Amino acid sequence: MADVIPIPEARSCVYNIPLALDHTLLQTRGPEPHFAKSRNANLLADCKRAIAGPMPFQQFMDHFLPQPSKDDRTNLLESFDAFKSVPPSAIDAAEIYEPLVAALNARDGSKSRCPGFVFEVAANRSLHPKRAGYVKPHICCYTPNNSRLVSQSDPSSRVEFGYAELFINVQPDPTLDFFADPPPDSEPAARTSHDFMQRARDEDGMPVVNLVLTLGQHVAYAAEVFARQPRTFLFTVALSGSRARLLRWDRAGGVATEAFDLREQPGLLCEFLWRFSQASCAGRGHDTSVQAATEEEERLFREVIERHARSQLDNDDEQALKNAVAEHYKAGHVYAIDILHQRPQSGERTRRFLVSRPLVSTLSLFGRGTRGYWATDKANRSIAFIKDTWRSSSLSELEAETLQHLNDLGVDYVPSVTWYGDVEDSGRVVNDHCEASADTKYQHTLSHEVMSKPWVCLFHKDPPFAIRRRHHRLVMGTVGYNLNRLRGTEELLHATYDVYTAMRQVLAKDSRIHRDISVGNIVLVQEPGKTVRSGYLIDWETSCKVDDAGASTEMGRVGTWQYVSIRMLREDHGQTGKATFQDEMESLLYVVLYCALLWQPHNVSMKQLTSTVTELFDSCTEFEAGIKDGGDGKMVNAMHRVYTRSARFENQDLSEWLNTVMDFHSPRPHQEAEYKDKWSNPEQLDAYWSNFLQTRTLDRNNRADNKLDHFDFYDSITPPSPPPRYLPPRRLSKTPPPPFPRRCKRKINEPPGDLESQPDKQARTEL
């Protein structure tokens, strides 16, 4: 490996970035091993309309990995019989990947298959290489230096995903291919009815290929690479026996080639590896706008983070400060990001920001892929928050523009905007096969460009679909902590009242509603002169105007599933409904109820709490077309208080508030006269809430971390023999038992085809 010659780069790549920490601040919020099969099933569901194939090999190469301008192949090893040692099929995957990795690393003097890179078996670097939650790709490709770093790391770590340039995963037999090509001579008309997803069944009617354990696992690997590296896209290789496919993944979808046999056509994989080796960092899928910070910049970053963290703490506990800093800073992992302003108002066009560990990161693959950082504005040495996301290119108004407008209108409790802009693409190779557009100068997805090509087949019974996405960064001056870090009843009800104030002001001043009122979208900020942290409403990208009747001008259900109103969950499956301010009020009620159940002291047992949270917030029915319906638990509770009537909160004022506001929302028959118009007129709730806060002395530090019983979501190996699940009386939910351990996804899909279960908010999971 010492004689491997690295490829020189104009801009270096950043690898192995930190993941967000979980609520304990003791470990990263990575893929939890016990939920692996459930997670893979969710990822599989996400991609069922987002994969296009089978793309002809040469078209794939020319579109996504064009020929290098200087194509000197002096160092390329001859491809003849390159993979003859790889058997056509095997009993165990090792019989495939062991001779394959030897062939990939073959050398003849200075000649090699992929100059500047090495291939290593990663599958064996695991504590439990046969368990779904611990498996790793069979082969990973690294730079030589990164290969050494991986080999020196603890096998129980996941650093392979932080350093992999690409990975190869193997099924031992061709019949286990999770894709199915149409006959080679198929006409375009025949392809439109052929399903590219493997749907073969055996004589007993059982699927030949377990898609959760094959395709779902492959997607999970790709998602983890995206989570641990700054990435715009990723190449992977899938083998079934000696039959291979190339795949390319970005935030819009995936594209797979036709299958080809390594033994019969070794030149195809060799050509791919050669072009890959000659590509720049950006050409291999790295986001080169992220660069390593200097030592001086790292010191500045830590200083600013520590200063702001201290200002947000309620005491001078040094250990608490140390933990607070560690949530945002990892030594040796500080990065510099130069952001070009979208619409500069002065001569300053670019500003440099420093980041380290994200506060928010996602383990989903498709969608916005949001990361959120406490950041340092290097120019003025101040704190900032960066929202790094892949936005839809078709947005008529950017979130930053919405926020600036609300700031100009004097709306309280919405974040201030410091800087924003789409991310320039400094390294992408443009070729004749790529569509020319305004996106060319920016980092953008490419999967959408091929979804309507004549070679495209159905995927899971439907034509694949992907929306164009553009990489975008929004910098805000409002920096605090998520509502799930509340300290007590006082903070819960004051912060959510601040949010209600913002909602009312936005409606009055801009005829706009937020459409995603959720725990993850409320930030607690300690402001000078205040004893209680203020609540700020963030994430305005799905907000829209309302018409004269008070209905949203955009149709359809958006937002976070747990907090969506009954009407928007049920009305025409959420496809054509128009949200109103009353739906927003209902969502805020669910936010308070959710927080009360999870982080306030009460008499509800773990099993009962798990069932209550599942039925009230998570439950849904999923239809064949991927459409969801829900709200049964919320409806039953609104009518009969089935899930809340037995809950006794230690803080009686909180119980009073919840009971009163639930009566405002859905009075029982004997209360209809008393509560008439209480919900339809937002001023009524405001008057009650304002007076309540003025006349009550609420508990300031009575937080309780109530646990949920997750036994029914674990894979079968742990924990063993779970106890029977508590079922509350009069359970009317029609939620069918899932075919695998999983919960309803956290985020409602965007417009059809934008398949992401929780676009930006996986790391905002509140539990």
Residue 50: HSE in the Cβ half-sphere, 13 Å Cα cutoff: 31
Query: Residue 329 pLDDT more than 60?
Result: yes
pLDDT of the residue at 398: 96
Contact criterion met (CB below 8 Å) for 706 and 597: yes
Contacts of 655 (CB under 8 A, 6+ apart): 647, 648, 649
Single-letter amino acid, residue 602 = H
Q: Is 596 helix (H, G, I), strand (E, B) or coil?
A: helix
pLDDT of the residue at 718: 38
Tell me the pLDDT band of 226, cut-offs 50, 70 and 90. Answer: very high
pLDDT digits (tens, 9 = 90+) for 234-265: 999 999 999 999 999 999 999 999 999 999 99
Biggest alpha carbon–alpha carbon distance for the chain: 90
Q: How buried is 434 (Cβ within 10 angstroms: 0-12 exposed, 13-18 middle, 19+ buried)? A: middle
CA angle 230, 232, 237 (to 5 degrees): 100
pLDDT of the residue at 50: 94
Range with the poorest average pLDDT among 369-373, 441-445, 617-621: 617-621
Query: Residue 736 pLDDT more than 50?
Result: no
Omega before 54 cis (within 30°)? yes
Question: Mean pLDDT across the stretch 70-77?
Answer: 89
pLDDT of the residue at 716: 42
Question: Mean pLDDT across the stretch 674-678?
Answer: 89
Query: Residue 377 pLDDT more than 50?
Result: yes
CA 538 to chain CA mean position, Å: 17
Query: Residue 82 pLDDT more than 50?
Result: yes
Tell me the pLDDT band of 626, cut-offs 50, 70 and 90. Answer: low
Question: Mean pLDDT across the stretch 591-611?
Answer: 97
Tell me the pLDDT band of 361, cut-offs 50, 70 and 90. Answer: confident
Which is higher by pLDDT, 618 or 410?
410
Q: Is 97 helix (H, G, I), strand (E, B) or coil?
A: helix
Query: Residue 181 pLDDT more than 90?
Result: yes
**In the block, residue with structure tokens 């967000």:** 20
**In the block, residue with structure tokens 């300690």:** 526
Tell me the pLDDT band of 9, cut-offs 50, 70 and 90. Answer: very low
Range with the poorest average pLDDT among 48-62, 159-173, 370-384, 724-738: 724-738
Question: Mean pLDDT across the stretch 215-235?
Answer: 98
pLDDT of the residue at 549: 96
Question: Mean pLDDT across the stretch 370-394?
Answer: 96
Question: Mean pLDDT across the stretch 74-101?
Answer: 97
Question: Mean pLDDT across the stretch 659-681?
Answer: 92
Question: Mean pLDDT across the stretch 646-656?
Answer: 96
CA atoms of 757 and 754, how far apart (whole Å): 9
pLDDT of the residue at 574: 65
Tell me the pLDDT band of 723, cut-offs 50, 70 and 90. Answer: very low
Query: Residue 387 pLDDT more than 50?
Result: yes
Which is higher by pLDDT, 429 or 161?
161
Question: Mean pLDDT across the stretch 543-549?
Answer: 97
Contacts of 169 (CB under 8 A, 6+ apart): 137, 138, 139, 217, 218, 221, 236, 237, 238, 239
Question: Mean pLDDT across the stretch 180-198?
Answer: 91
Query: Residue 45 pLDDT more than 60?
Result: yes
CA atoms of 289 and 427, how far apart (whole Å): 10
Query: Residue 698 pLDDT more than 60?
Result: yes
Residue range 482-753 forms a domain whose CATH class is mainly alpha
Per DSSP, what are the bridge partners of residue 471? 390
Omega before 722 cis (within 30°)? no
Query: Residue 475 pLDDT more than 50?
Result: yes
CA dist 660 → 666, 685, 707, 711 (Å): 10, 10, 26, 34
> CB 332: neighbour CB atoms within 10 A?
10
Query: Residue 746 pLDDT more than 50?
Result: no
Closest CA to 24 of 321, 323, 300: 323
Which is higher by pLDDT, 33 or 138?
138
Structure tokens at 104: 């990939």
pLDDT of the residue at 189: 86
Per DSSP, what are the bridge partners of residue 441? none
Give the mean pLDDT of the chain: 89
Report percent pLDDT > 70 for the chain.
88
- Domain residue limits, the chain: 54-285, 287-479, 482-753
Report percent pLDDT > 90 for the chain.
74
pTM: 0.89
